[in-house]
Chain A
């Protein structure tokens, strides 16, 4: 019975989501929650490699956009069903992570990070020149007129992202508590010692990169339908890089709860800010908050709360 409760929680979340789609008609609510759920996936995925393993990926946009463009390509080329698009997007982005990891993870972590930074720019340039998926101008994506079970496509997209978010958090939690998670933590704390204690560091790092990239790709798959115009500028937006980094840093990087907290708080704050102040000013604030947290509160909110609780008990 103890083992079953996470599954029950996950199922009830999905159940509540489904009920919501039956009752709530406000389009904006679905839009806003979609964005936050998307960030939950991105932040959680980032944290598997960043917080658990200690390798910083600046290339979230690359993996996210690869998922979006894989889906676009398959949809244009053969009108593949949505599930196939999801799996394909995850697979391609996962392979991207695998490839990059294989090439750079034998070296010091900083080289991996630099490579991820350069990766985004290069992929963006290549996509800009790929006319089939719209090139620089982009392509407009038409949502299907009707969709099984749901009265609007927005509700469908919301449910897809809710499933992805629940799944991502569940995977992160499972990894964190398993011997794989212990190995990743050992790599983060001291990679040389971990290797000498029997941890297959290269294999685990590549696993984390592949999984992280794959999840990011899956988060990107519904994106073309969410915005109905897929073009490189928005798909490869640097915001994804900053946010998927800031949210775990603010929330806390050592546990699955951190990215979730960070995504909800920062995501919601940005939704409010974008409406009230300019979107650029909003981003500036995110940057400043990120720097402040990394200097002053590297353990994030979860870490701060933990320390407070310990002090009360002591």
Chain B
């Protein structure tokens, strides 16, 4: 029985009059690949923002590594081991690719080690992800797929136990999707738990051990990829009545 890494219980989130999330619960187990899918506007990114700490929840609770993180600021959650990439890349534009990675490397390290030279570690991550040639290029000048890779690399540099990938493959070609998928699979093989939010179905189906489906802020289905494909509620959510 795998240990539960992340436990989300009955989370709700409102924006003014708009109910973005209602009574959402899920679990991520150690070493698991969890796919999170749902139509546009179903609340996936909002949920991720709540888990990573960018947004405060209006109800419910969250536990990570058996600690209550419900009111913990985002940077503390990162130090505990939750890292995420952003759907719209947010690189540190004045810095090079390498320097971008040094930020999470430094800030998830204990304070006495923070001034140390992290170049070697950063280069190792860049090699894994295929960006080492651009290490000294200013991040403002990267192409889209390079920016997506940088997002993942930066999240990896935060030494996470749980990596959340938010639509890292949107707008990429088929070959590029396979590239990203290979990186994530390799990470999972090394023991990292991953939540993947994607619209590209073949990627999610191939990659996930389990899938959770959101629609209009609620969880409507949960199960293996096989089960989800044949789930009528899911069909309805995507295709209508």
Closest to A193 in B: B90
Q: Mark A185-209, 1 if CB is under 8 A from B, else 0.
A: 1101110111111111110000000
Contact with A along B41-53 (1 / 0, CB 8 A): 0000000000011
Interface residues of A in 205-229 (CB under 8 A from B): none
A182 beta carbon closer than 8 Å to chain B: yes
Q: Which of A186, A196, A202 has the most CB of B within 10 A?
A: A196
Q: Which residues of B contact A182 (CB under 8 A)?
A: 99, 102-103, 106
* Cβ-defined partner of A196 (8 Å) among B52, B91, B114: B52
Q: Please tell me which one of the listed residues B94, B102, B106 contacts residue A188 in the complex, with CB atoms under 8 A apart.
A: B94
Tell me the bound Cα distance from A121 to B9 in angstroms.
49
A182→B102 CA distance, assembly (Å): 9
What's the interface size class on A, roughly? 20 to 34
Which residues from B are CB-within-8-Å of A188? Answer: 94
Q: Is the pair B115, A178 in contact by a Cβ cutoff of 8 Å?
A: yes
Considering only CB atoms, which chain B residue lies closest to A187 in the complex? Answer: B92
Pick from A185, A196, A254: contact of B75, CB below 8 A: A196
Checking A178, A189, A192, A199 against B107 with a beta-carbon cut-off of 8 angstroms, the contacting residue is A199
How many Å lie between the Cα of A101 and that of B158 in the bound state? 28
A198, B79: Cβ atoms under 8 Å? yes
As a 0/1 sequence over residues 91 to 120 of chain B, the CB contacts with chain A under 8 angstroms (1 = contact) are: 111110001001110111000001100000
Given A197-B104, A199-B103: A189 in contact with B74 (beta carbons within 8 A): no
B6 within 8 Å of A by Cβ? no
Residues of A within 8 Å of B94, CB to CB, are 185, 188-189, 254
- Contact present for A185 and B158 (CB under 8 Å): no
A166, chain B: closest CB distance, angstroms:
23
Contact of B106 among A179, A195, A201 (CB under 8 A): A179
A196 in contact with B106 (CB, 8 Å): no
Hey, which chain A residues are within 8 Å of B218, CB to CB?
none
CB of A51 to closest CB in B, whole Å: 11
Contacts of B62-97 to chain A: CB distance below 8 A:
73-75, 78-79, 83-84, 86, 90-95
8 Å CB contact of A197 from B73, B93, B115, B158: B158
Which residues of chain A have C-beta atoms less than 8 A from B83's C-beta? 196-197
* Residues in A116-155 with C-beta less than 8 Å from chain B: none
Proximity string of chain A (53-81) to chain B, C-beta cutoff 8 Å, 1 when within and 0 when not: 00000000000000000000000000000
Asked if B154 is at the interface (CB within 8 A of a chain A CB), the reply is yes
CB distance from A186 to the nearest CB of B (A): 5
Judge whether A183 is part of the interface by a CB distance below 8 angstroms: yes
Contacts of B78 in A (CB 8 A): 195-198
Please, which residues of chain B bring their CB within 8 A of the CB of A202? 73
Chain B proximity of A201: nearest CB distance (Å): 7
Given A196-B54, A196-B74, A199-B75, decide whether A179 and B114 contact each other with a Cβ distance below 8 A: yes
Least CB distance from B77 to A in Å reads 9
Asked if B52 and A185 sit within 8 Å, CB to CB, the answer is no
Residues in B113-160 with C-beta less than 8 Å from chain A: 114-115, 154, 157-158
Contact mask B19-47 → A, CB, 8 Å, 1/0? 00000000000000000000000000000
Which residues of A are at the interface with B, using a C-beta cutoff of 8 A?
A: 178-179, 182-183, 185-186, 188-190, 192-202, 254
Closest 4 CB pairs of A and B: A198-B107, A193-B90, A189-B92, A197-B104
Q: B residues within 8 Å of A by Cβ?
A: 52-54, 73-75, 78-79, 83-84, 86, 90-95, 99, 102-104, 106-108, 114-115, 154, 157-158
Q: What are 30 pairs between A and B in contact, CB < 8 Å?
A: A179-B107, A179-B114, A182-B102, A182-B106, A186-B92, A186-B103, A189-B91, A190-B91, A192-B90, A193-B86, A193-B90, A194-B92, A195-B74, A195-B78, A196-B52, A196-B53, A196-B75, A197-B75, A197-B103, A198-B75, A198-B78, A198-B79, A198-B103, A198-B104, A198-B108, A199-B103, A200-B73, A200-B75, A200-B107, A202-B73
